[in-house]
Chains A and B, each alone.
Chain A
Amino acid sequence: MSPVELVEEAQEPAEASTFSLADLLAESAAALTARPTRTLLTALGTILGVAALVTTIGLAKTAGNQIISRFDELEATRVLVRPEERQQGRNSVVVNVIPFDAGDRLRRLNGVVAAGTKSDVEIEGLARSVPVVDPLGLNEFQIKVVAASPGLFDAVRATLETGRFFDHGHNDRGDNVVVLGPGAANRLNITRLDNSPAIFIGEQTFAVVGVLRDVEREPDLLNAIIVTDGFARDRLGLLGPGEVHIETDIGATELIGSQAGIALAPDAPDQLRVSLPPSPRGVRSSVQGDIDALFLILGGVSLLVGAIGIANVTLVSVLERTGEIGLRRALGATRMHIASQFLFESATLGALAGLIGTSLGILAVVTVSFFRTWTPVLDPWLPFAAPLAGAFIGLLAGTYPAWKAGATEPVTALRSGT
């Protein structure tokens, strides 16, 4: 061999060490699966943290949606008008300016679905369904009596068990007809109307034209005897209806609220008090705000604990695997290769924890929704973001242990045995 060749051979570039991505993946996977139970326990804190966060965010969203639809259905379509109480000297005086045709006037407004009046009235005597007064009083009851205009039934979303609602003819004539709430009908023992039953209150006799099944508003009607406004006006001396119930189109409450006063009492709208349901948005944000803050803090704390858990166990495993680190360095690993493997392991662990945590969280949201008959609502980004967040936490938690692993001197590491 010539000296030239010798020089060339001496200058031959050294082969740099490499650690391919495929090998990085394989080595990390092998390390993580070597002790599956420990891996799972290490990830537990992060799993719980991510699960708590996903559950919180998912439930808040689901519940928020639920609250909105409740308001849409019932509250967001309801307006109530009452006479305004006024201070006159020391006494508060109520001047009732609500007209008996309040329901009809309001129906003319655009956005009103139904409107009717309701007043508490009193008829002397107990109610009974038999004409003869029983001396023992066994068949006589003290039952609440309410006067209503025909429009009230729609305004409170009443449904009938049997018969019909009284109509404008009954009302205008002040007929002796009643509609019974199911509670009142039950006590008076009236189940059928085909034999034209009558009830008696004190000296008065009434024909029963209908029995309610249910109402969605004003549940006191369920236990009441409902007479016509006309009867109350003509025979009981009712001067004006006690309150007006209005069912509006969705979203029309503010508008109707502003118009109702003028429609009912053009010369004295300020003598009426119009109540609107609380804004659904306001309620939702206050309820959701409370839930969110609490659970997000809880989720955040458990994530932090989870991160510390990963950091702690990874650090312990760096110490345990000192011999392995020394061996890998001897086999040609650089500091970077060692550090990147440990970092990748903890990031993978975090991502895995995120994935499991997300699944558990979604399961929790679906389960709670099932039992509360809600529709589960999830932001589409959530199942993707949560594992990423887990990976980020793992990365963060693994930084110091990985650096420590990379900085281990191979000679020292090999002396540790194994």
Chain B
Amino acid sequence: MKTPVVELAGVRRIFEGTPPVVALDEANLTINQGDYLAIVGPSGSGKSTLLHLLGLLDTPSEGVYRLDGIDTAELGERDRAGLRANRLGFVFQSFHLLGHRTNVENVMLAEVYRKGSKSERRTRAIAALERVGLGHRLDAFPTTLSGGERQRVAIARALVGEPSLLLADEPTGNLDSVTSEQILDLFDQLHHGGLTLAVITHDSDVSLRAERTVRIQDGVLSEATVVPTGDSP
């Protein structure tokens, strides 16, 4: 059996304050290679908190998180950042593209904090853009693209260097339904190509496509075998 990409054991995330907020409580989760996981739940339920923990942008208050078998609690800042650079890909609701850089330059940014050859960065970035169907807009600026195209540039950036896990936080949240479908088709395609995905959504369409759905309610995580019919208010 292969090492799971993600192993969460008893992970809690408590935000200090009066009163303290338990954003994630006793979470246990395993994501295997090639999984396509949807994380659903109402607003404020702790979805983003979970994603930030998985993405090593935040640290658990308690519990164990192993990424590709590496216990992340024992890592220093440079090693955690190194895991983000080499093994994780992020896709955000608001794209996070730099307006003054061309599409290909935005994708090349993914390799700035990585070790390894720089000479082929452009070639790899072009390949990634071609993979998301934007091979014809390489040197355009993201400001001239539609929302769906921008999100595809962001996905290309996350794909460069073959991450172990692609994390997406409401990737279709800023898109209309037709464009959303296209992005979800792209995710399906990537999934079939072997990519491991964890996608946050409160859109049931997204969770319908995923093979696994994890539901969060008030910071409590539960794996659903049956897809819920809709979002709680």
- Cα distance A402–B78 when bound, in Å? 18
- Residues of B near A323 (CB, < 8 A) are 94, 96
Bound state CA distance, A334 and B109, in angstroms? Answer: 15
Q: Is the CB of B94 within 8 A of A17?
A: no
Question: How far is the CB of B134 from the nearest CB of chain A, in Å?
Answer: 19
Docked complex Cα distance between A327 and B68 (Å): 23
From B69, B71, B81, B98, contact of A324 by CB (8 A): B98
Q: Which of B64-118 contact A (CB under 8 A)?
A: 66, 68-71, 75, 77-86, 88, 90, 92, 94, 96, 98, 100-101, 105, 109-110, 112-115, 118
B113 touches A333 (CB 8 A): yes
The number of inter-chain residue pairs (CB within 8 angstroms) is 113
Nearest opposing residue in chain A for B169, CB measure: A414
The segment out of B50-58, B178-186, B224-232 that lies at the interface is B50-58
A23 and B112 in contact, given A1-B1, A9-B3, A17-B84 (Cβ under 8 angstroms): yes
Contact across chains for B118 and A20 when beta carbons are under 8 A apart:
yes
The answer, yes or no, to whether A30 is at the interface (CB within 8 Å) is: yes
* Least CB separation from B114: chain A residue: A332
Residues on B with beta carbons closer than 8 Å to the beta carbon of A6: 3, 69
Whether B118 lies near A30 (C-beta < 8 A) is no
Q: Is B2 an interface residue (CB 8 A)?
A: yes
Cα-based distance from A72 to B109 in the complex (angstroms): 66
> Provided the pairs A1-B2, A18-B113, A414-B57 are in contact, do residues A332 and B96 lie with their beta carbons within 8 angstroms?
no
A327–B96 CA distance with the chains assembled, in angstroms: 7
A219, CB-defined interface residue at 8 Å:
no
Residue of chain B at shortest CB distance from A341: B112
Kindly identify, within residues 368 to 412 of chain A, every residue whose CB is under 8 Å from any CB belonging to chain B. Answer: 410-411
Residue of A with least CB distance to B109 = A331
Q: What distance in Å separates the Cβ of B23 from its nearest Cβ neighbour in chain A?
A: 11
Of the candidates A9, A27, A332, which one forms a contact with B84 in the assembled complex, judged by CB atoms under 8 Å apart? A332
User: B2, B3, B52, B83: which contacts A15 (Cβ < 8 A)?
Assistant: B83
Give the residues from 12 to 28 in chain A that come closer than 8 angstroms, CB to CB, to chain B: 12-20, 22-23, 27
CB distance from B49 to the nearest CB of A (A): 9
Chain A contacts for B71, CB-based, 8 A: 10
A329 touches B100 (CB 8 A): no
Known: A22-B118, A334-B81, A411-B58. A15 touches B86 (CB 8 A): yes
* B70 with A12: CB separation less than 8 A: yes
Asked if A331 meets B85 with Cβ closer than 8 Å, knowing A15-B115, A414-B92, the reply is: yes
The count of chain B contact residues (Cβ–Cβ below 8 Å) is 40
Q: Which residues of B contact A337 (CB under 8 A)?
A: 81, 113
Name A316-356 residues within 8 Å CB distance of B: 323-324, 326-335, 337
Which residues of chain A come closer than 8 Å to B68, judged between CB atoms? Answer: 9
In the complex, A34 Cα to B84 Cα: how many Å? 27
Report yes or no: A335 in contact with B79, Cβ–Cβ below 8 A.
Answer: no
- Alpha-carbon separation in the docked complex, A35 to B98 (Å): 13
For the complex formed, measure the closest distance between the CB of A417 and the CB atoms of chain B, giving whole angstroms. 5
Does A142 touch B at the CB level, under 8 Å?
no
Contact A10 B70 (CB under 8 A): yes
- Contacting pair B96 A17 (CB below 8 A): no
Tell yes or no: A418 within 8 A of B by CB.
yes
- Inter-chain contact A16/B110, CB cutoff 8 Å: no
Check A27 against B112 for contact (C-beta < 8 Å).
yes
Cα distance, A324 to B97, chains bound together (Å):
8
**Are B118 and A17 closer than 8 Å at their CB atoms?**
no
Q: Report B-chain residues with C-beta under 8 Å of the C-beta of A17.
A: 78-79, 81-82, 84-85, 113-114
Determine the chain A residues whose CB is within 8 A of the CB of B66 once the complex forms: 10
- When the two chains form their complex, are residues B70 and A14 in contact, meaning their CB atoms are under 8 A apart? yes
CA distance A326 to B115 in the complex (A): 20
| Residues in A neighbouring B77, C-beta threshold 8 A | 334-335
Show 16 A/B contacts (Cβ-Cβ < 8 Å), sorted by A: A1-B1, A10-B3, A14-B70, A14-B75, A14-B82, A15-B79, A16-B79, A17-B79, A17-B114, A18-B82, A327-B109, A328-B112, A328-B113, A330-B96, A331-B157, A337-B113
* A-B contacts besides A9-B68, A13-B79, A332-B113, 13 pairs, CB < 8 Å: A1-B1, A6-B69, A16-B81, A17-B81, A18-B114, A19-B112, A22-B118, A323-B96, A327-B109, A328-B109, A331-B109, A332-B85, A334-B77
10 smallest CB-CB distances across A and B, nearest first, come from A332-B85, A332-B113, A34-B100, A17-B81, A10-B69, A14-B79, A17-B82, A16-B78, A327-B96, A15-B82
